[in-house]
Copies of this chain bind each other. A is one copy, B any other.
Amino acid sequence: MTDYRQAALDFARQHKTDFLNNLKEIVAIPSISTDPERTADILRTAEWVAARLRGLGIEQVAVLPTGGHPVVFGEWLNAPGKQTVLIYGHYDVQPVDPIELWHTGPFEPTEVGENLFARGASDMKGQIIATLSAIEAIVRTGGLPVNLKFLIEGEEEIGSPSLEKWILENKDLLKADFCLNPDAGMMGKETPSITYGLRGLAYFELRVYGPEHDLHSGMAGGIVHNPAQALAELIAAMHDADGRITLPGFYDSVRVLSAEERADFARLPSTEADYLALTGVSALWGEPEFSPQERTGARPTLEINGMISGFTGKGQKTVLPAWAMAKISCRLVPDQDPEAVHQQLKQFLTEKAPKTIRWELEKFSGAPASISDTKQPGVKALSSALETMWGKRPLLKREGGSIPVVGQMQTILGIESVLTGFGLPDDGVHAPNEKLHLPTWYRGIDALIHFFFNL
């Protein structure tokens, strides 16, 4: 009897360059989902993914409209009696600014040493290509041991605003036993891990308006409440001195960590020194009664993602600005509701904003946090695959990031997600000089081959 597993692993070893070339092709397309000028590139990327799926023999491949950026769907259902795995991914990427900090073009994939630099190399075009490469190795050497469905979306980096409705409308099409979601990452190149918890997200834009137009700061300074100052005062009031968020009722529905969960967090290998090295700050910050691991994995946050007002060019301009704006987002934990957080922020502003200014709050996207069942068969298959490749049992962890679809699949499709991925903490995702560690990536492809055969 043919050893299909070994044949696939051999194929993967022999085709590393082809896999990498595929990755280089897709990361070269600037599919920035938040940028309206990149719509053509978004479509081009979706078509690229669809063509790749067709090339692997996947059936019913289509680029389907959602109201926003399209999803790529496909299926292969020729393994009767076997499990059906729904593979999730997103082909969109984050913006690239500040562009001047990139050492190489963000859409000119560049190998330096063991890394490939490009926007999306790690988050998550690299992870899509790893999954498709594992499938290619299996398909070319004998055939798939499971059924597959694909749902590759184009709006994850803007909070997946169209996806929930699309999943609701396509429940039958998406029927599966579980979802493989390779949008999570590893804790270190020698630390395989499986993510079972993700934070949710609620993203807002707050605009503060003062005078009708910019004023001369000498003429109006002292009688007009400066909108930049008023915005700063509101932002400053959103945390107390210990880093706790002050929105009314913000923590009311936050699920309390169990003793067991806190013990799991305490077992994670990352130290305060690791966090300092990773971020480059000289001192950590945040709620003192929780460890850094707990603060990023299991506590909600409120972040200022951006802020602008008045004159920001070189030199000086003595202007009293007419308005100020901040991008504000909350990472949510179980059982916070994004719309409830929206209302809490509105209530905070209603109570705290002075009469001297006017404010507007816009909600961009929202998704609740999710916790996956760690006892499901998919997790076991992945755990064993990772142990085979890394020689140690993977850690179970909760991650600080947000993947809205995980919660939606639980609620709408009733299926759990198995979260994996082969990005590393220092990959610079969402930042300049994003990269992918190629040796870890090739190891990840092999792990995925094992995963499919373990099912």
Contact = CB atoms under 8 A, between A and B. Distances in A.
Contacts of A428: 213
Residue of A36, A215, A365 contacting most chain B CB atoms (<10 Å): A215
A280 to B, nearest CB: 3
A430 B321 contact: no
A364 B325 contact: no
A327 B305 contact: no
A129 interface: no
B94 A296 contact: no
A331 to B, nearest CB: 5
Interface string A353-393: 01111100000110000000000000000000000000000
A236 interface: yes
A224 B279 contact: yes
A312 B296 contact: no
A145 to B, nearest CB: 34
Contact of A306 (B98, B225, B317): B317
Residue of A318, A355, A428 contacting most chain B CB atoms (<10 Å): A318
A7 interface: no
Interface in A296-331: 296, 299, 301, 303-321, 324-327, 329, 331
Contacts of A201: 218, 318
Contacts of A283: 225, 355-356
Interface stretch (A42-50, A55-63, A341-349, A397-405): A397-405
B225 A235 contact: no
Interface residues of A, number: 101
A281 interface: yes
A303 B94 contact: no
A394 interface: no
A101 interface: yes
A130 to B, nearest CB: 19
B307 A319 contact: no
A333 to B, nearest CB: 10
Interface stretch (A12-20, A22-30, A78-86, A284-292): A284-292
A298 to B, nearest CB: 9
Q: 5 closest Cβ contacts across the A-B interface?
A: A212-B280, A218-B401, A34-B315, A306-B310, A236-B236
Interface of A: 34-36, 94-95, 97-98, 101, 157-159, 199, 201, 203, 210-226, 228-229, 231-233, 235-239, 243, 275, 278-287, 292, 295-296, 299, 301, 303-321, 324-327, 329, 331, 354-358, 364-365, 399-402, 425, 428-433
10 contacts: A34-B315, A159-B316, A212-B280, A216-B401, A217-B301, A217-B303, A221-B296, A222-B292, A222-B299, A281-B357
